[in-house]
């Protein structure tokens, strides 16, 4: 496989961009990432003309794949050519806001911003403003963007910044606990309950190998936060409009958060973020409230049109049936392949998300018949239950080096583009076909 052009481009990039990239995770591919020339349905074509089946899909935003349906393309072109933006409102912002309010049960009002990071920054500020409290509880290993309040490691007794440039005094207001651990959460509330503004979590840890909540965990979070007057914030930047269809993951779990952050899919492939929730809380944002929030590009007409037309297309076509069906097929078949070739590994994911976690230990091969067949659901009766990853530490203990250094390259050599490392999620799009799935499964068989 020739990669001369990608190498040359990366060489140029290293001279003018830190690590040669504009987002840290992109440099995770070694020795250098391939540069993309263009997309085509479920595929990307790199700068040297190599074609890959693409399960990265921009790391989440591209629900429809790389070839946008005609009405989506037309709306984008129309907004771009009408003059890109104005600094005063446009109708399409109201249209998209109404669409989200109509479909997501917990959202009565919404504010659009420009990235998932900006959404979680603003949601945390709003939660603090609303409650008059300082502390935020997050899940260890959870990702909420590149922001001061959530780039934290350690545990609730010893939180520390996970990046240089963040004062220890910021980290002290963030309390990381393990996902799926009710006792740890109860302890944190016993100690700090009066000063906890919010619990911020993804409904499914989709940035850490894909970890499903145990049955009842979100109901538990809902009750505990309500009891202490804290807010429950679901970060649905990945799961929003991907898991649970247009109702998002919260409708699938039947749990109503106070606030929800959105990003990725809701902008149809353009830079976006949003904070939605109960009107009484969202009205805390300036100018109706006293929590300052503003943005030159917020509600950008091109983004709003791309998001609205994408979601409307999904509402009127078989998008979720298609992507969830292929997702189910991938997870089912991967479960069989793994049982045969690498029985300690765990297949995870739901709807249009999938991943194989290279867990080191598993139940005996004979008992695998009764495991979850289309992605780990943390069923206590599953023979794999004692071994499947329940939080970030469990995923981290997997064979992450083998995934990155051996497996990823073997998949790429077979023209399959998987996410950069063991932790990032993989996505099915409307552009993917049965044939893409077949070819990918064959590649897994060879690479595992």
Ligand X SMILES: *Cc1c(COP(=O)(O)O)cnc(C)c1O
Catalytic residue set: 143, 235, 264
Contact 221, 196 (CB under 8 A): no
Site string for ligand X, 371-410 (x = CB under 6 A): ----------------------------------------
- Residue of 97, 196, 238, 249 interacting with ligand X (CB under 6 A): 238
By the rule CB under 6 A, 263 interacts with ligand X: yes
Please choose, out of 28-36, 230-238, 309-317, 401-409, the segment that lies near ligand X by the rule CB under 6 A: 230-238
Find the Cα–Cα–Cα–Cα dihedral 263, 266, 268, 273, rounded to 10°.
-30
Q: Residue 280's closest CA among 141, 147, 131, 67? A: 131
The least distance separating ligand X from the CB of residue 425, rounded to whole angstroms, comes to 8
By the rule CB under 6 A, 145 interacts with ligand X: yes
Please choose, out of 90-98, 235-243, 276-284, 413-421, the segment that lies near ligand X by the rule CB under 6 A: 235-243
By the rule CB under 6 A, 133 interacts with ligand X: no
Structural tokens at position 239: 């799961």
Place of tokens 């263009």: 38
Nearer to ligand X, 59 or 311 (CB): 59
The least distance separating ligand X from the CB of residue 112, rounded to whole angstroms, comes to 13
143: three-class secondary structure by DSSP:
coil
By the rule CB under 6 A, 140 interacts with ligand X: no
- Residue number with the smallest Cβ distance to ligand X: 116
Q: Rounded to whole angstroms, how far apart are CA atoms 63 and 74? A: 17
**What end-to-end distance do the CA atoms of the chain give, in Å?**
21
All residues at 6 or more sequence positions from 216 whose CB lies less than 8 Å from its CB, including other chains? none
- Residue of 6, 106, 115, 140 interacting with ligand X (CB under 6 A): 115
By the rule CB under 6 A, 307 interacts with ligand X: no
Site residues for ligand X, window 194-213 (CB under 6 A)? 202, 207
Please choose, out of 109-117, 155-163, 224-232, 382-390, the segment that lies near ligand X by the rule CB under 6 A: 109-117
Q: Rounded to whole angstroms, how far apart are CA atoms 189 and 228? A: 8
By the rule CB under 6 A, 120 interacts with ligand X: yes
Up-side HSE of residue 445: CA atoms within 13 Å toward CB?
11
Distances (CA, A) of 399 to 208, 294, 405, 408: 14, 43, 10, 12
Q: Rounded to whole angstroms, how far apart are CA atoms 71 and 311? A: 11
Residues forming the site for ligand X (CB under 6 A): 115-117, 120, 143-145, 202, 207, 235, 237-238, 263, 273
């Amino acid at each position: 496989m020739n990669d001369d052009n990608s190498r040359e481009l990366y060489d140029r990039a290293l001279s003018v961009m830190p690590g040669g990239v504009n987002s840290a995770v992109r440099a995770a591919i070694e020795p250098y990432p391939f540069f993309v020339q263009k997309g085509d349905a479920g595929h990307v074509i790199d700068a040297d003309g190599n074609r890959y089946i693409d399960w990265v899909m921009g790391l989440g935003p591209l629900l429809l794949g790389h070839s946008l349906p005609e009405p989506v393309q037309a709306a984008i072109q129309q907004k771009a050519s009408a003059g890109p933006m104005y600094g005063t409102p446009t109708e399409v912002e109201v249209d998209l806001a109404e669409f989200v309010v109509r479909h997501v049960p917990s959202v009565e009002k919404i504010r659009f911003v420009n990235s998932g990071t900006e959404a979680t920054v603003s949601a945390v500020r709003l939660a603090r403003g609303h409650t008059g409290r300082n502390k935020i509880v997050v899940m260890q290993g959870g990702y909420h963007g590149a922001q001061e309040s959530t780039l934290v490691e350690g545990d609730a007794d010893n939180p520390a910044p996970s990046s240089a440039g963040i004062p220890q005094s910021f980290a002290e207001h963030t309390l990381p606990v393990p996902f799926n651990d009710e006792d740890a959460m109860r302890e944190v509330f016993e100690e700090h309950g009066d000063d906890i503004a919010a619990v911020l979590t993804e409904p499914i840890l989709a940035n850490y190998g894909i970890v499903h909540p145990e049955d009842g965990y979100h109901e538990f979070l809902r009750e505990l936060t309500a009891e202490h007057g804290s807010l429950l914030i679901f970060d649905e930047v990945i799961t929003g409009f991907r898991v649970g269809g247009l109702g998002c993951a919260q409708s699938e779990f039947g749990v109503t958060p106070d606030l929800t952050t959105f990003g990725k899919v809701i902008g149809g492939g353009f830079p976006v973020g949003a904070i939605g929730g109960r009107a009484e809380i969202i009205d805390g944002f300036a100018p109706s409230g006293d929590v300052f929030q503003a943005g030159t590009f917020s509600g950008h007409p091109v983004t709003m049109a791309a998001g609205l037309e994408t979601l409307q297309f999904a509402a009127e076509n078989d998008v979720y049936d298609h992507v969830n069906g292929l997702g189910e097929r991938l997870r089912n078949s991967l479960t069989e392949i793994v049982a045969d070739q690498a029985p300690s590994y765990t297949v995870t994911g739901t709807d249009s998300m999938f991943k194989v976690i290279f867990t080191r230990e598993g139940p005996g091969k004979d008992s695998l018949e009764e495991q979850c067949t289309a992605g780990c659901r943390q069923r206590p009766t599953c023979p794999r239950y004692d071994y499947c990853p329940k939080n970030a530490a469990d995923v981290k203990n997997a064979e992450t080096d083998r995934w990155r250094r051996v497996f990823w390259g073997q998949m790429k050599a077979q023209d399959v583009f998987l996410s950069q490392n063991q932790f990032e999620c993989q996505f099915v799009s409307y552009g993917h076909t049965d044939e893409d799935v077949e070819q990918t499964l064959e590649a897994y068989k060879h690479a595992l």
